[in-house]
Amino acid sequence: MTGEESLRPQSLMLTFLGDQVLGRDVCVYSGSVIDVFARAGVSEQATRSTLTRMVNRGLLRRQREGRRMYFGLTEHSATVLRDGERRIWQTGAVNRQWDGTWTLLGFSLPDSWQRQRHDLRSKLTWSGFGPLFNGLWIAPGEVDVSDLVDELGLAAHVKVFRAHAVAGTDVGAMIEETWELSGLAAHYEAFARRWEKWEAEVPGADDALALRLVLQTEWLRIIRRDPRLPVVHLPDDWPADAAEKTFRTVFDRLAPLANTAAERLLELVPVRHAQA
* Percent of the chain scoring above 90 in pLDDT: 84
Q: Which of 132, 164, 196 is the last residue of a domain?
A: 164
Whether 31 and 54 share a structural domain: yes
21 pLDDT more than 60: yes
Backbone angles phi, psi at 45, to 5 degrees: -60, -45
Whether 56 and 106 share a structural domain: no
276 pLDDT more than 80: no
For residues 186 and 238, is the Cβ–Cβ distance under 8 A? no
Whether 117 and 54 share a structural domain: no
Mean pLDDT, range 187-194, rounded to an integer: 97
Q: Does any domain span residue 66?
A: yes
107 pLDDT more than 60: yes
pLDDT at 4: 45
Model confidence at 183, in pLDDT bands (50, 70, 90)? Answer: very high
pLDDT tens for 162-177 read 999 999 999 999 999 9
146-155, long-range: CB within 8 Å, 24+ apart, which pairs? Answer: 148/123, 148/124, 151/123, 152/116, 152/119, 152/120, 152/123, 154/107, 154/109, 154/116, 154/120
SS3 63: strand
Q: Does any domain span residue 9?
A: yes
Q: Does any domain span residue 86?
A: yes
Model confidence at 202, in pLDDT bands (50, 70, 90)? Answer: confident
Whether 269 and 184 share a structural domain: yes
Whether 261 and 242 share a structural domain: yes
Q: Which of 164, 193, 215 is the last residue of a domain?
A: 164
For residues 230 and 98, is the Cβ–Cβ distance under 8 A? yes
Strand partners, 137: 105, 131
Whether 107 and 83 share a structural domain: no
The parent domain of residue 216 ranges over 1-94+180-276
- Report the length, in residues, of the chain: 276
pLDDT at 177: 94
Cα 107 to the chain's mean position, in Å? 26
Q: Does any domain span residue 170?
A: no
CATH code, domain with 115: 3.30.70.2360
Mean pLDDT, range 201-228, rounded to an integer: 91
- With residue 270 as reference, give the H or E element that holds it: strand 268-270
Residue 184 exposure: Cα atoms within 13 Å on the Cβ side: 24
Model confidence at 5, in pLDDT bands (50, 70, 90)? Answer: low
Q: Does any domain span residue 213?
A: yes
Whether 65 and 150 share a structural domain: no
Strand partners, 138: 104, 130
- The average confidence (pLDDT) of the chain is 92
Q: Taking the C-alpha atoms of 193, 194, 199 and 203 in order, what is their torsion angle to the nearest 10 degrees?
A: 160
Q: Which of 137, 164, 191 is the last residue of a domain?
A: 164
pLDDT tens for 243-264 read 999 999 999 999 999 999 999 9
Whether 89 and 46 share a structural domain: yes
Model confidence at 153, in pLDDT bands (50, 70, 90)? Answer: very high
Q: 55 exposed, middle or buried (CB, 10 Å; 0-12, 13-18, 19+)?
A: middle
Q: Would you give the end-to-end CA distance of the chain in angstroms? A: 45
pLDDT tens for 28-83 read 999 999 999 999 999 999 999 999 999 999 999 999 999 999 999 999 999 989 98
Whether 62 and 194 share a structural domain: yes
Of residues 4 and 241, which shows the higher confidence score?
241
Whether 191 and 270 share a structural domain: yes
Cα gap 149→158, rounded to integer Å = 8
pLDDT at 264: 93
Q: Does any domain span residue 151?
A: yes
Q: Does any domain span residue 14?
A: yes
Cα gap 115→108, rounded to integer Å = 14
Whether 123 and 242 share a structural domain: no
CATH code, domain with 207: 1.10.10.10
Whether 158 and 264 share a structural domain: no
Instruction: Give the count of domains, the chain.
Output: 2
Q: Does any domain span residue 169?
A: no
